[in-house]
């Protein structure tokens, strides 16, 4: 096949695949010839053939364009549809209420930042994170979480895993032990395993992680990772006595407590306990937060608060694991915080989740399920007798995105359960419908 026909075929294929949008301009034949390293006449032959066939059209001086009739893609509708249109699956975990985020306000704030950007906003983000966002987070933590910290103690990272990777690279060495909640969040475990650390499962009861079990079995561990506000997934808070026990251990052993405070904002009964970090006289706590649940996951933005004495060590490691959150995203989050929108949004979400949670809890109880009482968080756990994985497989086959508690466990023992989210349950009626479908699917 002659070269010009090869080129023509590639262009047609790109149009057919939707890769070249209808109405878009092609490079000039001169430019295209340079790009491809062929003679200009070759490209002109290819363009000419496609114009004759109706794929392309010439618009005089303006150039050569993909014919609007050649494909129905690349319309405004297509632009908007380039992500799957489907709503979250019923009970799908890891998402905030997608209907409740103030998208128009967010677009306005980001639009303002876009207009204000100078050429100097095009350079790499600061390896530690943009100072404007570090300041805004320090301010938020001081007011909302009673954590008194300086902006320099805050390190921005592209999500919780990236934040953990930075902490591990700075503080851990191969062979170091780490206490992990069992059951607990599993997707972070490879970060520790990759670093050659030894994973010590510590059981959870109704006061949270059993610190005494850790002390008895792995006193020499160098780290403890936990979710003190609402244990993930069981939802219990770490008791005050255990918080002190934990800090005493870390202080005596010079070990590190990593506090994952990802959903602390969402508590529905009683007064929230302040974070462990706020009790951290001995400076042994690395605090981790994220905007994935309090704003939305597409941002991929999390942060660490590190002790004053560790600022230099963390800063050095950001050379190898720099913050990769784009500058514009960091700036807009900072504005969202500084201008009070974050507080207002959290307040609205607490009300929203409190309502959705009750809807789903009531609906599940009505269907005969046994919901474990929880004080906060953005998920529910139900007790089930027998093999929870088998039940969950049936539910998933019916399109319900619940998870088996056994899949959150490190050790195989322990009661079965079903874990689910209520954040995108938008009405009482929907909650009842979902609960009924779940019962029908698994019984």
State which of positions 191-210 bind a second copy (CB under 8 A).
191, 194
- Binders of a second copy in range 74-93 (CB under 8 A): 74, 76, 79-80, 82-88
Q: Can you tell me the distance from the alpha carbon of 64 to that of 199, in angstroms, rounded to the nearest whole number?
A: 61
- Sole residue written with tokens 């510590």: 202
Q: If binding is defined by CB under 8 A, does position 312 make contact with a second copy?
A: no
Q: By the 8 A CB rule, do 266 and 235 touch?
A: no
> What is the x/- site pattern for a second copy, positions 20-39, by CB under 8 A?
xx--xxxx---xx--xxx--
Q: How far is the CB of 399 from a second copy (least distance, A)?
A: 17
Q: Are strands 302-305 and 285-290 parallel, antiparallel or unpaired?
A: antiparallel
Q: Which two tokens stand for residue 258?
A: 């990593």
Q: If binding is defined by CB under 8 A, does position 61 make contact with a second copy?
A: no
Q: If binding is defined by CB under 8 A, does position 10 make contact with a second copy?
A: yes
Q: CA–CA distance from 153 to each of 134, 199, 395, 415 (Å)?
A: 8, 27, 45, 40
Close Cβ partners of 268 (under 8 Å, ≥ 6 residues apart): 350, 353, 354, 357, 375, 376
Q: How far is the CB of 367 from a second copy (least distance, A)?
A: 28
> What is the x/- site pattern for a second copy, positions 92-121, by CB under 8 A?
--xxx-xx-x-x--xx--xxxxxxxxxxxx
Q: By the 8 A CB rule, do 371 and 234 touch?
A: no
Q: If binding is defined by CB under 8 A, does position 411 make contact with a second copy?
A: no
Q: If binding is defined by CB under 8 A, does position 40 make contact with a second copy?
A: no
User: Which one of the spans 50-58, 122-130, 253-261, 373-381 is the region binding a second copy (CB under 8 A)?
Assistant: 122-130
Q: Given phi > 0 = left and psi -120 to 50 = alpha, else beta, which region is 126?
A: beta
Q: Which two tokens stand for residue 332?
A: 């807009």
Q: How far is the CB of 147 from a second copy (least distance, A)?
A: 11
Q: Please say whether the dihedral angle defined by the alpha carbons of residues 98, 103, 109 and 112, taken in this order, is positive or negative.
A: positive
Query: How many C-alpha atoms does 416 have within 13 Å on its Cβ side?
Result: 11
> Which residue in the set 230, 242, 300, 409 belongs to the binding site for a second copy (CB under 8 A)?
300
Close Cβ partners of 368 (under 8 Å, ≥ 6 residues apart): 439
Q: By the 8 A CB rule, do 239 and 189 touch?
A: no
Q: How far is the CB of 12 from a second copy (least distance, A)?
A: 12
Residue number, 24 or 308, with CB nearest to a second copy: 24
24 exposure class (CB count in 10 Å sphere: 0-12, 13-18, 19+): exposed
Q: How far is the CB of 265 from a second copy (least distance, A)?
A: 9
Q: Can you tell me the distance from the alpha carbon of 11 to that of 70, in angstroms, rounded to the nearest whole number?
A: 12
Q: By the 8 A CB rule, do 67 and 53 touch?
A: no
> Which residue in the set 44, 139, 375, 428 belongs to the binding site for a second copy (CB under 8 A)?
139
Residue number, 12 or 284, with CB nearest to a second copy: 12
Residue number, 299 or 380, with CB nearest to a second copy: 299
- Binders of a second copy in range 239-278 (CB under 8 A): 271-272, 274
Q: If binding is defined by CB under 8 A, does position 238 make contact with a second copy?
A: no
Q: Can you tell me the distance from the alpha carbon of 350 to that of 340, in angstroms, rounded to the nearest whole number?
A: 16
User: What letter would DSSP give residue 403?
Assistant: E
User: What letter would DSSP give residue 279?
Assistant: G
Residue number, 37 or 60, with CB nearest to a second copy: 37
Q: How far is the CB of 264 from a second copy (least distance, A)?
A: 11
> What is the x/- site pattern for a second copy, positions 343-382, by CB under 8 A?
xx--x-----------------------------------
Q: If binding is defined by CB under 8 A, does position 124 make contact with a second copy?
A: yes
Q: By the 8 A CB rule, do 98 and 296 touch?
A: yes
Q: If binding is defined by CB under 8 A, does position 135 make contact with a second copy?
A: yes
Q: How far is the CB of 392 from a second copy (least distance, A)?
A: 19
Q: How far is the CB of 232 from a second copy (least distance, A)?
A: 17
Q: By the 8 A CB rule, do 280 and 247 touch?
A: yes
Q: Can you tell me the distance from the alpha carbon of 114 to that of 129, in angstroms, rounded to the nearest whole number?
A: 18
- Binders of a second copy in range 151-170 (CB under 8 A): 158-159, 161-162, 169
User: Which one of the spans 206-214, 218-226, 290-298, 383-391 is the region binding a second copy (CB under 8 A)?
Assistant: 290-298
Residue number, 17 or 206, with CB nearest to a second copy: 17
175 exposure class (CB count in 10 Å sphere: 0-12, 13-18, 19+): exposed
Q: If binding is defined by CB under 8 A, does position 123 make contact with a second copy?
A: yes
> Which residue in the set 2, 19, 69, 393 belongs to the binding site for a second copy (CB under 8 A)?
19
Q: How far is the CB of 173 from a second copy (least distance, A)?
A: 12
Q: How far is the CB of 342 from a second copy (least distance, A)?
A: 10
Q: Which two tokens stand for residue 89?
A: 């699956």
Q: How far is the CB of 152 from a second copy (least distance, A)?
A: 12
């Amino acid at each position: 096949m002659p070269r010009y026909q090869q080129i023509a075929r590639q262009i047609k294929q790109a149009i057919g695949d939707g890769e070249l949008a209808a109405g878009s301009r092609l490079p000039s034949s001169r430019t295209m010839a340079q790009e491809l390293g062929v003679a200009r006449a070759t490209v002109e032959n290819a363009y000419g053939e496609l114009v004759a066939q109706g794929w392309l059209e010439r618009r005089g001086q303006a150039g050569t364009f993909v014919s609007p009739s050649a494909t129905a893609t690349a319309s405004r509708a297509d632009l908007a549809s380039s992500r799957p249109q489907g709503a979250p699956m019923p009970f799908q975990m890891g998402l905030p209420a997608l209907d409740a985020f103030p998208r128009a306000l967010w677009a306005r704030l980001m639009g303002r930042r876009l207009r204000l950007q100078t050429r100097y906003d095009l350079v790499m983000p600061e390896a530690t994170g943009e100072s404007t966002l570090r300041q805004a987070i320090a301010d938020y933590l001081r007011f909302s979480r009673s954590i008194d910290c300086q902006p320099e103690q805050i390190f921005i990272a592209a999500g919780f895993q990236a934040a953990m990777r930075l902490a591990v690279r700075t503080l851990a060495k191969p062979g170091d032990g780490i206490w992990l909640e069992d059951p607990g969040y599993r997707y972070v475990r490879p970060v520790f395993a990759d670093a050659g650390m030894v994973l010590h499962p510590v059981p959870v009861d109704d006061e949270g992680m059993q610190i005494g079990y850790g002390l008895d079995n792995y006193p020499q561990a160098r780290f403890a990772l936990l979710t003190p506000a609402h244990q993930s997934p069981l939802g219990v808070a770490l008791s005050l006595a255990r918080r002190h026990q934990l800090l005493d251990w870390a202080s005596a052993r010079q070990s590190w407590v990593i506090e994952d405070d990802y959903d602390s904002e969402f508590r529905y009964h009683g007064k929230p306990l302040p974070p462990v970090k706020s009790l951290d006289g001995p400076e042994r706590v690395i605090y981790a937060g994220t905007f994935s649940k309090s704003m939305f996951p597409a941002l991929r933005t999390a942060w660490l608060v590190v002790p004053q004495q560790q600022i230099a060590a963390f800063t050095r490691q950001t050379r190898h694991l720099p913050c990769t959150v784009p500058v514009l995203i960091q700036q807009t989050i900072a504005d969202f915080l500084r201008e009070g929108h974050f507080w207002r949004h959290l307040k609205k979400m607490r009300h929203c989740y409190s309502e959705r949670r009750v809807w789903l809890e009531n609906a599940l109880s009505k269907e005969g399920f046994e919901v474990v009482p929880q004080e906060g968080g953005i998920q529910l756990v139900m007790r089930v007798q027998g093999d929870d994985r088998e039940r969950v497989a049936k539910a998933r086959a019916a399109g319900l995105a619940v998870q088996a508690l056994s899949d959150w466990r490190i050790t195989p023992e322990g009661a079965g359960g079903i874990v689910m989210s209520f954040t995108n349950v938008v009405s009482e009626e929907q909650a009842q419908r979902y609960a009924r479908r779940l019962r029908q699917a698994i019984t």
